[in-house]
Amino acid sequence: MSAGDKITSVLVESRVFPPPPAFAAQARVGSLAAYEALCARAAAEPERFWAEIASELAWSQPWREVLDWELPDARWFVGARTNVSVNCLDRHLDGPRRNKAALLFEGEPGDTRVLTYHQLHREVCKAANALDALGIRAGDFVAIYLPMIPEAVIAMLACARLGAPHTVVFGGFSAEALADRIKDSRARLVITADGGWRRGQIVPLKDNVDKALDDPEVDVDHVVVVRRAGGESSWKPGRDHWWHETVDRASPRHQAVGHDAEHPLFSLYTSGTTGKPKGILHTTGGYQVGAYYTTRMVFDLRDDDVFWCTADVGWVTGHSYVVYGPLMNGATVVMYEGAPNQPGPDRFWDICARWGVTVFYTAPTAIRAFMRWGDEHPARHDLSALRLLGSVGEPINPEAWMWYRRVIGGDRCPIVDTWWQTETGSIMISPLPGATPTKPGSATRPLPGIAADVVRRDGTPCGPNEGGFLVIRRPWPSMLRTIWGDHERFTRTYFGDIPGCYFAGDGARKDADGYIWVMGRVDDVINVAGHRLSTMEVESALVSHPKVAEAAVVGRPDELKGQAIVAFVTPKGGIQPDDALAAELRQHVVEQIGALARPEELRFADALPKTRSGKIMRRLLREVASGSTARGDTTTLEDNAVLERLAASYQQED
């Protein structure tokens, strides 16, 4: 960033955009005073507040207690029974939503499919019956490794219906990463496709499943395969079943039963600060309340909205805002399989225009790519149906925010910048579009009921604009309940740093108006194009290569992706560091984790900067990687020459 850029960001940051009066007039929460009154009520009587929201959903048995909380363990809606799939589907079948479109699907090649609530319900019932026939019972984990096609939604809802927790693995993850997740969750059944479309190519999902299942520690009985790509795939009779045979043959009638409110609904793997991804566990009752409430409040959904959240169901955003939140609200959801620039850079705007999208939710990295591709692409399409825009995944820079508002939103649509995490299950900090004046770059204020704050290490609140830790002081219904198989890690990771608070890694400041500005992670987690990765995970992948002695990985700022991965590698003695080895190592990371983790740059170093106790000094490497000379304190560095050599090699090669 040049000095000039910095000045513009200061200027745009100081602008405030009140909700457009026409939007506020019809919004659920239409003024700042109404928002503040809700916050006050929720703070005064939190349990009553959440119980009222929960009462809008169907429960087959009521709760005895709204919340049972003893740090760090919270149980919500204790004793209640409910079925998330019923709340997403059956609940809408008796009224005018029965024949309303639930899913508007478009494949990358241009094929389309529309499923009404009635039709989606039938498909989910068939899938639930088929899974039941394959022996899946409540409590059995099912791994889902699918492209963004209707079967992904159907499979998730079928699992929820049966009380079989799903663990969705993003299709961009490699066979190794898939195997790790299957092993950790102990899934006995995998739902996949013969392939999915991405940039005109077929992603070989079934081949990856076959490879993952070759791992002797993976114990999977059945693989259900959706025919999507239509090519050849290898087949293991008895183990592999076509979806179109197994599911289509099943009965479309399925009587759902309620599951305990604290019954696991899904686990989703995300990166922490170690080499091993964590299985974030969400449960039935609390998660459904969080996803339902936040979708309703933040996107202010109405029955005539067409809602498009561009996230993949492999991420939590896809769980909460492609599937569960919008369907519980009876919304019409757009689902698109492919890349935003296939066949051309206007694909998203073409989709918005053709399907009449009214609420659009995407990530800053995508917005920055659209900015770079040029205003002429959205300009070619009629985007006048849009009424609200959202952003999620990383801090949005004010320039991108302003572009989004002007070029996509026609200066007319409010923008909701939503802060949350896989762990929080649903949105925590966001404007309410009819109530909260927005400031470009700030996620603004916590939702009513969410006790988010910025504090010092001892838990005391920071003063205005003082940088601190972003925490949540009280439990909320959709919070994670544990890290699957490692409750001790859960307690230590989220409740071990700041006394009495949930803290999951973000730094922030709160301005004089109480607006929160998220400043990014303070731990070794990096955010590459909205995808969360741990530097250690990439390091473990690198050191698993026989030619690598040691590796250190850091993020450096990247204009498009937010952060890019830079790896410093020390090869084993006698190994020649050259371009061929660099290419081999980058490919090795792709095989171990997936293309999303491929280092943008790989630098060889004869040694890494370390403290006397042997800890790699990532801070110094970050400075080297971002091109600045290491200015920070280097007094604890064991060998100063290491850093000088690294910085010198870096500048030469650039």
Interface ranges with ligand WT7 (CB under 6 A):
270, 316-317, 392-395, 417-422, 443, 504-506, 518, 520-521, 527, 532
Question: Helix %, strand %, coil % for the chain, to 5?
Answer: 35, 25, 40
- Residue 428 CB, shortest distance to ligand WT7, in Å, is 9
- Residue 581 CB, shortest distance to ligand WT7, in Å, is 31
Q: Which residues have a Cβ under 8 Å from the Cβ of 110 and sit 6 or more positions away?
A: none
Nearer to ligand WT7, 67 or 504 (CB): 504
- Residue 26: both structure tokens together: 């019809």
Q: What is the DSSP letter of 414?
A: -
Contact status, residue 568 vs residue 646, Cβ threshold 8 Å: yes
Phi-psi category of residue 635: left, alpha or beta, with phi > 0 → left and psi -120 to 50 → alpha: alpha
Nearer to ligand WT7, 417 or 623 (CB): 417
- Residue 424 CB, shortest distance to ligand WT7, in Å, is 7
Q: Give the DSSP H/E element, type plus range, for residue 5.
A: helix 3-13
- Residue 25 CB, shortest distance to ligand WT7, in Å, is 27
Nearer to ligand WT7, 215 or 523 (CB): 523
Give the C-alpha separation, 88 to 82, whole Å: 11
Spatial CA neighbour of 483 closest among 474, 499, 495, 468: 495
Nearer to ligand WT7, 241 or 532 (CB): 532
- Residue 516 CB, shortest distance to ligand WT7, in Å, is 9
Q: Determine the length of the chain.
A: 654
Contact status, residue 369 vs residue 558, Cβ threshold 8 Å: no
- Residue 456 CB, shortest distance to ligand WT7, in Å, is 19
Contact status, residue 264 vs residue 282, Cβ threshold 8 Å: yes
Spatial CA neighbour of 627 closest among 556, 573, 578: 556
Nearer to ligand WT7, 90 or 497 (CB): 497
- Residue 108 CB, shortest distance to ligand WT7, in Å, is 23
- Residue 395 CB, shortest distance to ligand WT7, in Å, is 4
CA 65 to each of CA 53, 174, 261, 281: distance values in angstroms, whole numbers, following the listed order: 15, 43, 11, 21
- Residue 413 CB, shortest distance to ligand WT7, in Å, is 17
Paired sense of beta strands 502-510 and 468-472, if any:
antiparallel
Q: Which residues have a Cβ under 8 Å from the Cβ of 29 and sit 6 or more positions away?
A: 35, 38, 297, 300, 432, 434, 435
Positions of E strands within 535-600: 548-558, 562-571
- Residue 218 CB, shortest distance to ligand WT7, in Å, is 25
Nearer to ligand WT7, 204 or 393 (CB): 393
Contact status, residue 487 vs residue 414, Cβ threshold 8 Å: no
